Amino acid sequence: MRLPFHLRGMDGTVAIEVVPNDDPEALGCRFPGGARDLATCTAVIEHPGRGYVGLMGWVQLVSSTDGESGEDGFDPDPLGFYGDLNVPYGFFGIRPTLFDGPSRDTRDDLVWVAHSFLCYSPDLATRTVCAVTGFSWGFTIRSGQVKIQGPEKLPAGDWDRHGARLSGAYPGWEFALGYRTG
C-alpha cells in the first residue's frame, strides 16, 4: 500500500508492507518461535525533506484481546528499551522507518490491531505531536489459524479518538487534533 501525505510544503508517500513473518530470526525477533506466521509491518517514508525538515516520527497504539485494554481499547506501543521515558514516538528521526513484528507464546484465539500514525513535532522546542496520516494493520488467530489484516488507511478521527489515552500516557505532551500538513 502507498499512502500519500503532504508535510512542510512537500508531497510524500509512505510505502507500507504487511506480510506474514516467515523468518523471525532474520528480522531479529526476540521470541522467534512466537513470531512465526504473525504479521510484520514495515512502513518506509519517501519525502524530500532534509535535515530538521525531514524530522518525523511514528506513534503506534495497539489493541489486543489478550491485553489490558481489551479489543476496543488501545495502548501506546513504544519500543521496550524506552522503558519509562516520556516520549510518545516509537521511532523518530529523519524519515524513520516503522517496523514491528509482534509475537505470542500461544496460538489461542486473538485479535491484534495496531494503529500507526506518521507524525511530526512543529519545532524542536515544544512537546507537540501532529499526525500527518495513519493506517491500521494486524492479525487474528482463530482455531490456531493466523489471518493477516491490512494495511488500511485511517481517517483523522481515529487519531483524535486516541488523544486522551496518549495525553494520559505522556504527560507534558500535546496531541493536536486532525491530520496536519505543517
What is the chain written as a DSSP string?
Answer: -EEEEEETTEEEEEEEEEEE-S-TTTTT-SSHHHHTTSEEEEEEEE----GGGGEEEEEEEEEETTSSSTTT--EE---GGGTT-----SEEEESPPEEE----SS--SEEEEEEEEEEE-SSSSS-EEEEEEEEEEEEEEETTEEEEEEEEEPPHHHHHHTHHHHHHHSTT-EEEEEE---
Q: What is residue 72's predicted lDDT score, i.e. its pLDDT?
A: 63
Q: What is residue 66's predicted lDDT score, i.e. its pLDDT?
A: 86
**Angstrom distance (rounded) from CA 75 to CA 70:** 10
Q: What is residue 41's predicted lDDT score, i.e. its pLDDT?
A: 98
- Cell numbers placing 122: 512543529
Which residue numbers in the chain have pLDDT < 70? 68-72
Q: What is residue 69's predicted lDDT score, i.e. its pLDDT?
A: 65
Q: What is residue 168's predicted lDDT score, i.e. its pLDDT?
A: 92
Q: What is residue 146's predicted lDDT score, i.e. its pLDDT?
A: 95
- Cell numbers placing 156: 483523522
pTM of the model as a whole: 0.94
Q: How far apart are the first and last CA of the chain?
A: 23
